[in-house]
Amino acid sequence: MAELRLVDLVKEFQSFDSPEGKVVAVDHVNLEVERGELVTLLGPSGCGKTTLLRMIAGFEDPTSGDIFLGDRRINDLAPNKRDAAMVFQSYAIFPHLNVFENVAFGLRLQNLTEAQVQERVNRVLELVGLTELARRSPDQLSGGQQQRVALARAIVMEPRLLLFDEPLSNLDAKLREQMRIEIRQLQQRLGITSVYVTHDQAEAMSISDRIVVMNHGRIEQVGPPLALYARPRNRFVAAFIGDVNFISGEVVAPGRVRVLTETFPVADMPESLRPGQQVTLTLRPESVELLSDPRSPQSQFSGEVRRVTFLGGMVEYEVQAEGLGSLVVHASNPILRGVLRRGDHVGLHIPPAALHVLP
Amino acid sequence: MRLKRMKRELEILWQDPLLALLVGAITISLLIFVVYPLIAVFIKGFQTQDGQFTLENYRRFATFRYLQNALRNSLLVGLATGVVGVLLGYLAAFTLTRTDVPGKQLLHILLILPIISPPFVSAIAILLLFGFNGLITQKILGLQGFNIYGFKGVFLSQVFTFAPVGYLTLRGVLESLNPTLEDAAMNVGASRWQTFRRVTFPLSLPGIASAFLVIFIESLADFGNPLVLAGSRFPMLAPQAYLEITGSFNLPLGAALAVVLLIPSLTAFVIQRYYLQKRQYTTVTGKPTLSASKIVSPGARVGLYALLTGFALLILLFYGTILVGAFTAVWGHDNTLTLDHFRYAFSVGFDTIKDTLIVAILSTPISGFLGMLIAFMVVRLTFPGKGAVEFMSILNFAVPGTVVGIGYILAFNRPPLLLVGTLSILVLNFVFRYVPVGIQSGIAVLRQIDPSIEEAARNLGADGITTFRKVTLPLIAPAFFSGLVFAFVRAMTAISAAIFLVSAQWNLLTVQILNQVGSGRLGVAAAFSVILVAIVIVAVGVISRLVPRQVARIEIMRAQEG
């Protein structure tokens, strides 16, 4: 049985700006999270991901639908009675307590002996590498250290469920990458079931067992990161996760599409599609191969380089391809392979498995 | 739909039964101790002496020139004091926030000294300086029979008392205007004067209007200064209502006058609160700028400084007069130094001093905690009728003490709430009269605290009360302590409501001072005033020592967060 189950969850807010007098923040969401799994809620701001998380924590009341933790319905349970510890976006560290007392806050509300509190807090502080700073007051901590305090304060409760509300959005890029690795390692080591909210697709892909892509309060697609990246179910998911080119094609036979004059095999083509039907295909920028000689036998399409953006590990090109329009192409390893220039004529090669049909 | 929502809100509140009970208890006590007395005054105004319904009291108001004059005089003094008080207050606030003149700290302390004194200390000083035996009028200028009573006396005394209120309000307004805006205006070519006229002044305009209304309300409500200085030929509403009740034993007419007094006060309050406050500009963003503004030219700086110093010296003169007066045998006749007044004060007034301290010490912490609790309720909880609770809790800002005092003797003179003459009625009156300031500063601080800090506590297993006690309260400690200081100072110095509520068993210092003035013993009145101000200063010192060191640290953090 799933550890966390959301059944037909709806949240409406009253609003005087909209004609209906209400805004639907979360729209009939169904989701199951397995024990020990880290599931990310990913979407643009206003998509309802934070509202969903806050309903799980008990800070918002669902308009309808049910929330189950294990086999217990927790809709009507006060937030302080729910076994779901949260790491807040703003960290929400108690400014009047030092690091140790911040972490000990929740334990002190339980009937624990002082020795037990000391023992558990110290263990967790060591886990997040804050042992040295235990007596510091929060205003003497850096952003990353405050983040660790917030994390320690949540995991010291040994909760059944760990909730993250965009925990890394206040950190700079380098630290963000480092912290997401630490969080993932800690979560896997402790095996705590986790729900993680973010709008950063790279963060979601690097940290999650499964990603839930949300838009306008609805779930667009759920799946492991690779599945979402390789086989997005619609344009929104395709464009939100990573960069993508959309190409139009025509079905020629089951599992085969034609783009201009070339025919490509595609996997997972929906059976409902009939030959002659027009379809939209996705093509990831790194799947395209650029050939410096447009007359090369491998070349299927020809084009002209319009923009060159050097990014270090790779180069991003914008290529005006004949009959296909503008395509974004990523070429890796610029040191060995060199960098093309604006105005260069190139050939394009699309490998057989690169195209995906949007249903 | 609306009912359904109210039901839902109640259900959520009931998840925390202790909190729900607290909300209920506070709502009920606000109804009993704030609203009910006002209703009692209102009803009494429509009654005859023996309780029949009548319009007679208001008919008398419409026919008697004397009563109409009281209203006119009160409004006149209120407007004049408001204009001059704002002018002086703005001048002081502008000089102290926008220039780097020497002695800023000292000037600030001098300027707020009148706020922590009983409001009629200045009235006594004015009598000593400008009265029949006045130091200035008689001794220095040699005027015989100069009459300070009437408009000029009350006006002078109120400007002195309330300009500091304007100063504090406008200082807050000017501090919250980002000086970068002025730099920006000058950067695009505005002269200093243009910058002030087109940027600084328009931005502070809502604050100026607000300060004016606050002073207007306080002036209308003022009781001590008019009672001492208005004189019989210049009737004013607040003392007139008192005299009708204690002099003519005409409680219904007194109540009717109180209602008349309440109307302009409430109007000003509603404008200030629901119209102006939404229009205040707060432009502080990012780090506070410490650099002195370039907006003041060297010449203007000297001029402003001279005016400000002049006003500060006047304050010093008033307090000096009181101090010397307290040690002078017979002012104007026998200038030998003596401790007689203090000896007398302690012999007749020792119990009064004790009573005053008991009342203040009891009401201060209750008022402080209640203020923080209500602020917490208003900012962080949702419950049906929240807007009404907020309004009730701050209503006493606007209601003149005279009205409250009359309301209390009307409302609590029979069982089950037979409180007249007891200690409780004084304590309750002070608690509910002076809780609004604590509430306001509590609300201001709470709105700055990230709600997720409280959510974090809930998330870690704390219930509503525990969250308030262990997280919210420590964070709003600065507001709590400033609420404490205010409640204590006011409990020590208030008179307008208290004068109706004192009894043979429980008397207050301020009433004692007024009695001494009434019987012409200015020296004793001055001695009592010195004792009172000394107690207040010591107490404020003690309370600020109590402020935990954490508070200072949180303040710093907040400043860093911008």
Give yes or no for residue B333 having a pLDDT over 80.
no
d(CA B492, CA B497): 13
Q: How many domains does one find in chain B? A: 1
Task: Identify the residue whose tokens are 């901590």.
Answer: A141
Q: Is residue A358 in some structural domain?
A: no
Q: Is residue A359 in some structural domain?
A: no
Co-location of A134 and A247 in the same domain = no
Q: Is residue B548 in some structural domain?
A: yes
Alpha helices in chain A (DSSP H): 49-57, 99-108, 114-127, 143-155, 173-190, 201-207, 225-230, 235-240, 334-337
Co-location of A261 and A180 in the same domain = no
Least-confidence region, from A145-154, B181-190, B494-503, B553-562: B553-562
pLDDT classification of B288: cutoffs 50, 70, 90: very low
Q: Is residue B264 in some structural domain?
A: no
pLDDT value of residue A35: 95
User: Which three-class secondary structure state does DSSP give residue B445?
Assistant: helix
Task: Label residue A254 left, alpha or beta by phi (over 0 means left) and psi (-120 to 50 means alpha).
Answer: beta
Q: Tell me which residue range forms the domain holding A96.
A: 4-239
pLDDT classification of B553: cutoffs 50, 70, 90: very low
- Nearest CB among B459, B461, B554 relative to A95 is that of B554
Distance from CA of B545 to the nearest CA of A (A): 18
The residue from A239, A265, A290 where one domain ends is: A239
Residue B4 near chain A (CB below 8 Å)? no
> What are A's interface residues with B at a Cβ cutoff of 8 A?
14, 57-59, 61, 76, 78-82, 84-86, 88-90, 92-96, 105-106, 109-110, 137-139, 153-154, 157
Which CATH number fits the domain that encloses residue A299?
Answer: 2.40.50.140
Least-confidence region, from A7-11, A164-168, B405-409, B417-421: B417-421
Co-location of A95 and A53 in the same domain = yes
d(CA A283, CA A249): 12
Distance from CA of B470 to the nearest CA of A (A): 9
Give yes or no for residue B389 having a pLDDT over 70.
yes
pLDDT classification of B202: cutoffs 50, 70, 90: confident
The list of chain A residues with pLDDT below 50 reads: none
Which CATH number fits the domain that encloses residue B374?
Answer: 1.10.3720.10
Q: Is residue B36 in some structural domain?
A: no
Two tokens at B234?
A: 């210049």
Give yes or no for residue B371 having a pLDDT over 60.
yes
Task: Provide, as residue numbers in chain A, all residues whose Cβ is less than 8 Å from the Cβ of B550.
Answer: 96
Contact B455 A90 (CB under 8 A): no
Contact B463 A153 (CB under 8 A): no
Which CATH number fits the domain that encloses residue A186?
Answer: 3.40.50.300
Share the mean pLDDT of chain A: 91
Burial (CB count <10 Å: 0-12, 13-18, 19+), residue B497: buried
Instruction: Report the residue of chain B nearest A140, measured CA to CA.
Output: B557
Co-location of A48 and A112 in the same domain = yes
The pLDDT tens digits for B9-57 are 777 777 778 888 888 999 999 999 999 999 999 998 888 888 788 888 8
| Residue that wins the pLDDT comparison between A353 and B560 | A353
The residue from A215, A239, A263 where one domain ends is: A239
Q: Is residue A347 in some structural domain?
A: yes
Range B434-449 average pLDDT: 83
Co-location of A8 and A126 in the same domain = yes
Q: Is residue A326 in some structural domain?
A: yes
Co-location of A181 and A116 in the same domain = yes
Co-location of A171 and A45 in the same domain = yes
Range B448-455 average pLDDT: 86
Give yes or no for residue B442 having a pLDDT over 90.
no
Q: Is residue A273 in some structural domain?
A: yes
Range B367-381 average pLDDT: 87
Q: Is residue B545 in some structural domain?
A: yes
Task: Label residue A276 left, alpha or beta by phi (over 0 means left) and psi (-120 to 50 means alpha).
Answer: left
Range B381-404 average pLDDT: 86
Instruction: Report the residue of chain B nearest A58, measured CA to CA.
Output: B459
The contacts of residue B17 (CB under 8 Å, 6+ apart) are none
Q: Is residue B311 in some structural domain?
A: no
**Ordered strands of the A301-310 beta sheet:** A289-291, A345-349, A301-310, A314-321, A325-332
Q: What is the count of residue pairs from A and B with beta carbons less than 8 Å apart?
A: 81
Contact A94 B452 (CB under 8 A): no
Q: Is residue A357 in some structural domain?
A: no
pLDDT value of residue B280: 62
Q: How many domains does one find in chain A? A: 2
pLDDT value of residue B547: 66
- Nearest CB among A57, A80, A96 relative to B475 is that of A96
Give yes or no for residue B520 having a pLDDT over 50.
yes
The residue from A239, A257, A278 where one domain ends is: A239
pLDDT value of residue B291: 45
Q: Tell me which residue range forms the domain holding B396.
A: 339-562
Range B376-390 average pLDDT: 85
d(CA B63, CA B56): 10
Q: Greatest CA span in chain B, whole angstroms?
A: 78
pLDDT value of residue B557: 38
Contact B453 A85 (CB under 8 A): no
The ipTM, to two decimals, is 0.79
Share the mean pLDDT of chain B: 83
Contact B457 A58 (CB under 8 A): no
Co-location of A49 and A79 in the same domain = yes
Q: Is residue B295 in some structural domain?
A: no
Co-location of A150 and A264 in the same domain = no
* A41, A207, B411 from A200: Cα distances, Å: 10, 11, 63
Contact A153 B475 (CB under 8 A): no
Co-location of A64 and A194 in the same domain = yes
Contact A105 B12 (CB under 8 A): no
Contact A110 B16 (CB under 8 A): no
d(CA B560, CA B557): 5
Co-location of A88 and A171 in the same domain = yes
Supply the DSSP symbol for A14.
Answer: E
Query: Phi and psi of A319, rounded to 5°?
Result: -115, 130
Least-confidence region, from A19-33, B171-185, B425-439, B515-529: B171-185
Contact A157 B554 (CB under 8 A): no
Q: Is residue B296 in some structural domain?
A: no
d(CA B495, CA B510): 6
Q: Is residue B438 in some structural domain?
A: yes
The pLDDT tens digits for B127-178 are 888 887 777 777 677 777 678 888 999 999 999 989 998 998 898 888 877 7
Nearest of B432, B430, B362, B363 to residue B393 by alpha carbon? B432
Q: Is residue A356 in some structural domain?
A: no
**Ordered strands of the A278-283 beta sheet:** A262-265, A256-259, A245-253, A278-283, A356-357
pLDDT value of residue B550: 47
Co-location of A81 and A46 in the same domain = yes
d(CA B383, CA A200): 37
Contact B463 A78 (CB under 8 A): yes
